């Protein structure tokens, strides 16, 4: 969710500018753009969706072994939808 307006209408894109000539480090990662308010930033700054997290916590109480699998599957599906939804 957008850290500015808390909208879930967020587009996440990967970028790769290659190797920085000054530092020698690779300049790549993920950036987001909120379709609701226009905010942009590093994908690490996105706010977790509380509904999904509360569902995962509820799942953890019933079956602790499926907690991490539920988060991973939820994140994978969300990223797929963000990247390929048009």
Domain residue limits at 66 = 48-86
Regarding whether 53 and 33 lie in a shared domain, the answer is no
17 burial type by CB count under 10 A (0-12 exposed, 13-18 middle, 19+ buried) = exposed
pLDDT in tens, 42-57: 999 998 876 555 555 5
The answer on 65 and 31 residing in a single domain is no
Whether 16 and 36 share a structural domain: yes
Indicate if 53 and 72 belong to the same structural domain: yes
Q: pLDDT of 4-29, one tens digit each?
A: 999 999 999 999 989 999 999 999 99
- Whether 5 and 43 share a structural domain: yes
Q: Do both 75 and 64 map to the same domain? A: yes
Whether pTM > 0.85 for this model: the answer is no
My answer on whether 27 and 6 are in the same domain is yes
**CB proximity list for 13: less than 8 A, separation 6 or greater:** 30, 31, 32, 33, 83
Domain count, the chain: 2
């Amino acid at each position: 969710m957008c850290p500015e307006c808390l909208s879930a209408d967020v587009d996440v894109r990967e970028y790769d500018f290659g190797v920085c000539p000054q530092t020698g480090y690779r300049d790549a990662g993920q950036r987001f753009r909120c379709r609701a308010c226009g905010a942009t930033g590093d994908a690490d700054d996105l706010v977790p969706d509380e509904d999904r997290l509360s569902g995962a916590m509820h799942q953890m109480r019933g079956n602790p072994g499926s907690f991490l699998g539920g988060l991973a599957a939820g994140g994978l599906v969300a990223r797929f939808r963000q990247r390929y939804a048009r």
